[in-house]
Amino acid sequence: MTLVAATGCSTGSGGAQPAATPPSVPASASAEAGASAELTAAPTDSPSDTPSAPTAPPSTASPGVSPAPTGSPSLTAPPSAPPAPARVAPDAMFATVQRLQSFGPREATGGAFRRAAAYVQGRLEDDGWQVARQGLSVPAGVSWGVPVDAGETFNLVATRPGFDPEQPHVVVGAHLDTVPQSPGAEDNGSGVAVLLELARLAAAEPPAVPVMLVVYGAEEPRGPGDSRHHYGSRVQVDRMPAAQRDAVRAMLALDRVGVGSVVPVCDGGLAGGVVARQLLRAAERADVPTTSCGQNRSSDHWSFEKADIPAARLGSTSWAGYHSADDTTRYIRAGQLGRSARIAWEWLSGLR
């Protein structure tokens, strides 16, 4: 099956200005994944009881009046109007970033990461997604100048009821963890907020091509080189049986998508630019300004590209608070979250 983007049009606008060059980031990815738990399904609440149908009221016909013949025409309600198309909600995404920032730095093995993950899992389940945790081990190291201990973390893997991982689908992911000194509003509360918005939209209007949503643990580096970066996404790809890997038609990483006024579109240079071009066309249909950030291997899309799975990234605008305590909502713009979400939704909903 070949994914092609539909030519439908979305509403929206955004003024363009040049995007700053992304900062240098340690090279990405392939890692020691240690002992780990398999995917475990999160518990689900029991369905609520369905209320019984109300009892019909007694007849009010006057004595001696015969009922109408059964063949008589009856009044019928006019057809209801179709529901309005799903629309992105920038202010709601901004509120999500604020909530994620409130947990403090979310280093992948720490309590703040686990609490933030519980919040994200609850949001996904509220929209009807089935969420499993994929556990993994990470080594000790140095993350952006700060020593970090070895420990356990996990990915959240969300799918719709009836999802078959061996049938064609796409993956959309965003990492939840941060470097130890950062509350991570932009990096990467912004990406998680857009992912949760896509979860809401896809629940309301399921895309033609099924989507798996993944919230990654341990994307941030624990040392230099590919083997000390992107642990969560590398573990996901490494554990996929061949049939499941072959079923992934594309992967989109949402990473640092709330700063600026144009949306960067990147890939790692191994996928032939297929997904990046689809995203650029989606941005044109959504009337969202973009910039190409060229070859970029510093997010979770790179784990997929190295496995010969077409992938790309939205985001990477440079800004003063990168990987610091200043990475707060002071730099986040609801409009930029909206622009990023519109591109991602136009792409996802347009695939056939």
Q: What is the pLDDT of residue 2?
A: 52
Residue 325 phi/psi, 5-degree rounding, is -65, -15
Please give the Cα distance from 65 to 335 (Å, whole number).
66
- H/E element, 248: strand 248-254
**Per DSSP, what are the bridge partners of residue 44?**
none
Please give the Cα distance from 13 to 277 (Å, whole number).
20
Residue 339 phi/psi, 5-degree rounding, is -65, -45
**pLDDT tens-place string over residues 322-342:** 999 999 999 999 999 999 999
**8 Å CB contact between 316 and 256:** yes
**pLDDT tens-place string over residues 133-177:** 999 999 999 999 999 999 999 999 999 999 999 999 999 999 999
Q: What is the pLDDT of residue 271?
A: 80
Torsion over CA: 324, 106, 28, 258 (sign): negative
**Per DSSP, what are the bridge partners of residue 130?**
159
Q: Is the pTM of this model over 0.85?
A: no
Q: Which of 282, 337, 312, 277 is nearest to 100 (CA)?
A: 337
Kindly report whether the peptide bond that precedes residue 188 is cis, defined as omega within 30 degrees of 0.
yes
Q: What is the pLDDT of residue 57?
A: 38
- From residue 216, alpha-carbon distances to 134, 178, 282, 347 in Å are 9, 11, 25, 21
Question: In the chain, which stretches have pLDDT less than 70?
Answer: 1-85
Q: What domains appear along the chain, each with residue ranges and CATH number?
A: 85-350 (3.40.630.10)
**8 Å CB contact between 344 and 254:** yes
Q: Which of 226, 252, 225 is nearest to 347 (CA)?
A: 252
Please give the Cα distance from 11 to 310 (Å, whole number).
27
Q: What is the pLDDT of residue 317?
A: 96
Please give the Cα distance from 202 to 209 (Å, whole number).
11
